[in-house]
A and B are shown apart, each in its own frame.
Chain A
Amino acid sequence: NAGVTQTPKFRVLKTGQSMTLLCAQDMNHEYMYWYRQDPGMGLRLIHYSVGEGTTAKGEVPDGYNVSRLKKQNFLLGLESAAPSQTSVYFCASSPYPRTENKETQYFGPGTRLLVL
């Protein structure tokens, strides 16, 4: 099993450009998450999904959109990139909802995004 994979690994964008980050998991997990990680700050939840066809906003959703058309894929879109979106983006998946104590999130390797 590949686990959680993310594409691309690294990307440079100009302000105003758009792009889509792809997250794929082969563990048949229902729950998927997008986080961003910035220096000096803890991971922050952008959007999440509790199943195919469903998405919900997290802590910092502004400027991002997501889609979960297939159970194994969770896409994160930046419609008009801004320098404030320079960050490392992590995708995670889990077989259980966040409310369960046995829930464990499996993280991807991350995508480094630089917006100039």
Chain B
Amino acid sequence: KNQVEQSPQSLIILEGKNCTLQCNYTVSPFSNLRWYKQDTGRGPVSLTIMTFSENTKSNGRYTATLDADTKQSSLHITASQLSDSASYICVVTTGNQFYFGTGTSLTVIP
């Protein structure tokens, strides 16, 4: 069964600290993996898209990694800011089919 699982479900960190969010998937065949940021009450916004051949991709303070062999991805946030408080959603696609994770809720406190 094609599934995307994210951990932890929620996370609280102090402003300025780093954190890593995990995404494990069983989706096959693999086309690409995306990370979205969703602020409360807003629609998701794309952070990164990674294909099979890419194992690291950065977008500012966000760095995504992909290990296609173990079917794992992580999103590392460096020097967190209050504005990073949001839900982070991992999406794995087969091309035409998109599989959404349930997200990790991140809260950054001062």
| Residue positions of A touching B, CB distance < 8 A | 4, 40-45, 90, 92, 98-99, 101-105, 107-110
Contact = CB atoms under 8 A, between A and B. Distances in A.
A90 B89 CA distance: 14
A47 to B, nearest CB: 14
A110 B41 CA distance: 8
Given A98-B93, A101-B31, A104-B49, A109 B102 contact: no
A90 B46 CA distance: 14
A98 B99 CA distance: 12
A98 B49 CA distance: 12
Nearest to B46: A104
Contacts, number: 45
Main secondary structure of the interface of B (DSSP, over half): strand
Contacts of A92: 43
A94 to B, nearest CB: 10
Q: Kindly list the 5 A-B residue pairs having the minimum CB-CB distance in the complex, ordered from nearest.
A: A107-B43, A42-B100, A43-B100, A99-B95, A104-B46
Contacts of B42: 109-110
Contacts of A103: 49
B44 A107 contact: yes
B51 interface: yes
B31 to A, nearest CB: 7
Given A40-B102, A42-B100, A98-B98, A107 B45 contact: yes
B100 A44 contact: yes
5 contacts: A42-B91, A42-B101, A98-B98, A105-B46, A109-B42
Contacts of A45: 98
Interface in B33-92: 41-46, 49, 51, 89, 91
A41 B89 CA distance: 11
B31 A42 contact: no
A103 B96 CA distance: 11
